[in-house]
Amino acid sequence: MTLRRTLLRIAAQEDLNFLLTNRIPRRLATRLMGRFSRIEQPLVRDLSIATWRLFCDVDLSDARKERFRSLHDAFIRELRDGARIVDADPEVLASPCDAIVGAHGPVEGETIHQIKGMPYRLADLLADPEEAERCRGGVFVTLRLTAGMYHRFHAPADGRIEGIRYIEGDTWNVNPIALKRVEALFCRNERAVLRFRLGGTGEVLRLVPVAAILVAGLRLAFMGEDFDLREGGARTIACDAAVTRGQELGWFEHGSTIVVFAPPGYRFADGVAEGRPIRMGEALLRRDGVGAVPKPPSSS
């Protein structure tokens, strides 16, 4: 435990952390990590998982499996039945993932924040000015998945995914240290924009999973096992996939971020505050009638 605390203190030093996680060949490191993490040799697997657990808070007790073939297999683990309870209230949008709540608040103009004092243009994130304009009057919330968390993400409600926009990009770290230093970081990284139409009201959500360093892939389960998001480059992908509340949508192969955009009439659920953890399935947003005033950002 003493060694772990020492390593975590060193990693928490901002200059060093930024240097080690960003001032390296990020794409090369990501490709190499993707290959290394898939090695199934028992000694490599055990040492790599032990090293991962040394640097990160990892809880594998809720995983479906008790043994993993590789580090990658542990990263993308599935949950055992009953490990998460999905809020069934039809007026609630459930959190799509386990995460730390980041910047959140109303969408009032052309910009929102990745962290206090660091705005970015919504049109740049979505790569579509018209889609950005449609988000006005609603709310957004940033959900950061740390490296040790459960990495799969799920449908926040019943509905249909009716379109995907894939945007090529870099692999900057998305931790708070990088968010304070790199302008418009989410707009630089590889990402996808999922257009999600709610089954009950026909309102449209937008889920934006953002890749990061060491994320060797972003997978979309509802598109089928053989679908490769990166194949074909930046593009808009036609889709009409019916999904149910809590259904798995896809996964990251390391920690990353999802930015959620809800239409007007939603407020943040009780307990949602910057810096606080949330688990997949817990209430994230609640429908409060058209014209509801969204809860302002707050800190724990």
E-strand ranges in the chain read: 92-94, 99-106, 111-115, 118-121, 139-145, 152-154, 159-167, 191-198, 204-210, 218-220, 235-243, 248-252, 256-262, 266-268, 277-278, 283-287
Torsion over CA of 202, 296, 130 and 124, rounded to 10 degrees?
-130
Q: Tokens 């240290």: give the residue.
A: 177
Divide the 300 residues of the chain into consecutive groups of 10 and give the mean pLDDT of each group.
55 48 59 79 92 86 94 92 96 97 95 92 96 96 93 97 94 84 91 95 96 76 88 92 97 87 96 96 86 46
Q: What does the DSSP 8-state code read for residue 85?
A: -
pLDDT value for 34: 72
pLDDT tens digits, residue range 71-86? 889 989 999 999 999 9
The pLDDT tens digits of the residues spanning 195-229 come to 999 998 999 999 999 988 765 578 899 998 889 88
Q: What is the pLDDT of residue 19?
A: 47
Residue pLDDT, tens place only, 183-192:
999 999 999 9
Whether 15 is catalytic is no
Name 104's Cβ contacts closer than 8 Å, sequence gap at least 6. Answer: 139, 140, 141, 142, 268, 272, 274, 297
Half-sphere exposure of 84 (CA within 13 A, CB side): 26
pLDDT reported for residue 265: 94
pLDDT, position 3 = 56
87 is catalytic: no
pLDDT at residue 51, as a whole number: 87
Catalytic residue among 72, 104, 151, 154: 154
Active-site residue 256, yes or no?
A: yes
Catalytic: which of 48, 98, 151, 254? 98
Following CA atoms 184, 156, 271, 251 in sequence, which dihedral angle do they give, to the nearest 10 degrees? Answer: -60
